[in-house]
């Protein structure tokens, strides 16, 4: 994935999260998922469902910023409620755990008002014991994605040679068009006569790649 594509994906995810947070802050409780989806459309969301197997469907929630989320199951409304993060009676009932509460933690009765939980050393110990039992005492660190390369990273000799060879392979008209686009993209001063010496960073090589693809009639990422 190029640096530009990774940046676009990050911005799309950020836009999706911001819109979903704004939606959840204003949506009323116990609203039907279909009605909630209609309200979410004002913030750039859309959705659709399709069958994927006998008795199973896929529901996909998309945002105008470019990001989306998908869920699979047997109920369109329940899946949509989960993607929107809303409280809907049937979803809330299905999510209730069947196992009994730990005897060391006081659980509210079925009709009691919600009681705020105070984190105590005893509660922390219970959680630690439960985690140890579930993982057999093994703690696995989540993988950390490799950072994207810095666009201003200097080009290696091989990378610069690739860019120069691309320019040399252009026709006179193509080279003129490329030069105009490159000067405009990187604000190259008019006093600079040749473009080749200016191609020194990774972002310049990415530009050459995109321009070459689009000039050939393709769609660059």
Q: How many residues can be counted in the chain?
A: 221
pLDDT for the residue 100: 47
CA gap 15, 67 in Å, rounded: 8
Phi (first) and psi of residue 186, to 5 degrees:
-115, 15
199, burial (CB in 10 Å: exposed 0-12, middle 13-18, buried 19+):
buried
CB 83 within 8 A of CB 71: yes
Residues 141-159 have pLDDT tens digits of 555 555 667 888 888 888 8
Q: What is the mean pLDDT of residues 97-105?
A: 47
pLDDT for the residue 109: 45
**132 falls in which pLDDT band (50, 70, 90)?**
low
pLDDT for the residue 203: 87
Phi (first) and psi of residue 46, to 5 degrees:
-145, 165
Identify the weakest region by mean pLDDT among 37-41, 81-85, 132-136.
Answer: 132-136
CA gap 39, 163 in Å, rounded: 49
CB neighbourhood size of 161 (10 A)? 11
pLDDT for the residue 105: 45
- Is the whole-model pTM more than 0.75? no
Task: Tell me which H or E stretch contains 57.
Answer: strand 56-63
């Amino acid at each position: 994935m190029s640096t530009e594509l990774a940046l676009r994906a990050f911005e799309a995810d950020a836009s999706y999260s911001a819109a979903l947070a704004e939606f959840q802050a204003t949506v009323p409780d116990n609203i039907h998922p279909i009605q909630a989806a209609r309200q979410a459309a004002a913030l750039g969301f859309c959705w659709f469902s399709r069958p994927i197997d006998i008795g199973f469907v896929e529901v996909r929630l998309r945002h105008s910023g470019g990001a989306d989320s998908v869920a699979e199951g047997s109920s369109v409304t329940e899946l949509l409620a989960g993607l929107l993060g809303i409280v809907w009676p049937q979803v809330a009932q299905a999510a209730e755990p069947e196992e009994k509460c730990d005897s060391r933690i006081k659980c509210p009765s079925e009709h009691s008002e919600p009681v705020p939980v105070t984190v105590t050393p005893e509660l922390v110990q219970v959680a630690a014991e439960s985690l140890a039992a579930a993982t057999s005492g093994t703690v696995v660190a989540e993988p950390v994605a490799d950072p994207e390369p810095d666009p201003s990273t200097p080009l290696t000799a091989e990378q610069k040679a690739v860019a120069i060879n691309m320019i040399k392979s252009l026709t006179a008209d193509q080279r003129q068009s490329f030069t105009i686009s490159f000067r405009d993209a990187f604000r190259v001063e008019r006093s600079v006569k040749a473009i080749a010496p200016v191609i020194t960073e990774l972002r310049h090589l990415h530009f050459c790649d995109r321009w070459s693809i689009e000039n050939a009639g393709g769609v660059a990422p």
